[in-house]
Amino acid sequence: MRIEQLLYMIEINQTGSISLAAEKLHVSQPNISQAIVSLEEELGVKLFNRSRFGAAPTEEGKLIISKAEEIISKVEELRESVNHHDKELTGVLSIASVPSLCLSVLPGALAIFKGKHPEVELEMLELDYQQIKQEVLSGNVDMGLIALSKQHEENNKQLTVEKLMDNRIMACVGKNSPFAHRTSISIEELANQPILLNSEYLIEKLKKYGEPNILFKLGNSEAAKRVIAEGIAIGFYTELGLKYDPYILTGNTIALEITGEDMDVVFCSIRLKNRHQSIASREFAKELKAIIALN
């Protein structure tokens, strides 16, 4: 049994394809196929069911892959401890985050981290929850930063989930809206208003009170915020994401508390459970938590 065989097995499991694994690892497909066949013969079990649609792990394969991930994680930890002892951190740190954190605490944490570790290359993606989860599970990013409702727990056994902070969703209206003079708005009132929405969670909340009048499905874009400021529709953002929002700061948009439903959310970090967490990832997590503690 060789380390590269374990790596091949893990990559095939993540990509669902021998050819994609070969491409990602820059190894020929025949070499990977032969390595897996040899490993299966050595262990006396079939690791993958192969078909024209790809390769899926067998039940025995899933158990062995889990152990292989633990082994590779320890190997990477050993290499890292040797390579970075009394040396500057290097390498790549990739993070995928929901927009609320990209617009609030994340820039400060990234700036402080980069100042301390200039040799680490940072890769940042702004995505929605499902996209972030998939990127983490695929091994494409080191860390995902997500927002979950209080009623929803991320229970994927492949992920390590760590709570960062509580927050709540606010309704945003233009300064000339008939609701602008208020501090709150009920969920029933929102159900009858034209809204901007791209969250299935919020759609389900509103459906309890009638069919939502979804004018547009826009995300955290500048266009969405202009539509809200002009009074065309009502939008929804986390309180944290609005803290430094220019439309809020200039008074062109007003944030209202939503009553009648629990609109609390939890910001969390997620990462692959059996994947070694690099020193860079751990150091960044410390900086992020320190920034969050100040907010």
DSSP 3: H
Q: Cα-flanking dihedrals φ and ψ of residue 289, to 5°?
A: -65, -35
Query: For residue 190, what pLDDT is reported?
Result: 92
Q: Structural domain boundaries of the chain?
A: 3-83, 90-295
DSSP 198: -
CB atoms within 10 A of CB 81: 10
Contact 236, 170 (CB under 8 A): yes
Rounded to whole angstroms, the Cα distance separating 4 from 10 reads 10
Contact 120, 90 (CB under 8 A): yes
257: its two tokens: 């508390």
Q: Name the helix (H) or strand (E) containing 124.
A: strand 120-126
Rounded to whole angstroms, the Cα distance separating 109 from 101 reads 10
Query: For residue 81, what pLDDT is reported?
Result: 66
Query: For residue 57, what pLDDT is reported?
Result: 92
Residues 6+ apart with CB under 8 A from 50: 18
| Domain 90-295 architecture | 3-Layer(aba) Sandwich (3.40)
- Identify how many contiguous H helices and E strands the chain contains and give both numbers: 13, 12
Q: Name the helix (H) or strand (E) containing 157.
A: none
User: How many Cα atoms occupy the beta-carbon half-sphere of 191 within 13 Å?
Assistant: 14
Low-confidence ranges of the chain (pLDDT < 70): 80-87, 219-220
What fold does the segment set 3-83 form as a domain? Arc Repressor Mutant, subunit A (1.10.10)
CA dihedral 275, 278, 284, 288 (to 10 degrees): 30
Is this model's pTM higher than 0.85 or not? no
Contact 61, 46 (CB under 8 A): yes
Rounded to whole angstroms, the Cα distance separating 125 from 145 reads 10
Query: For residue 84, what pLDDT is reported?
Result: 56
Query: For residue 1, what pLDDT is reported?
Result: 84
DSSP string, 14-74: HHS-HHHHHHHHT--HHHHHHHHHHHHHHHTS--EEEETTEEEE-HHHHHHHHHHHHHHHH
Query: For residue 133, what pLDDT is reported?
Result: 94
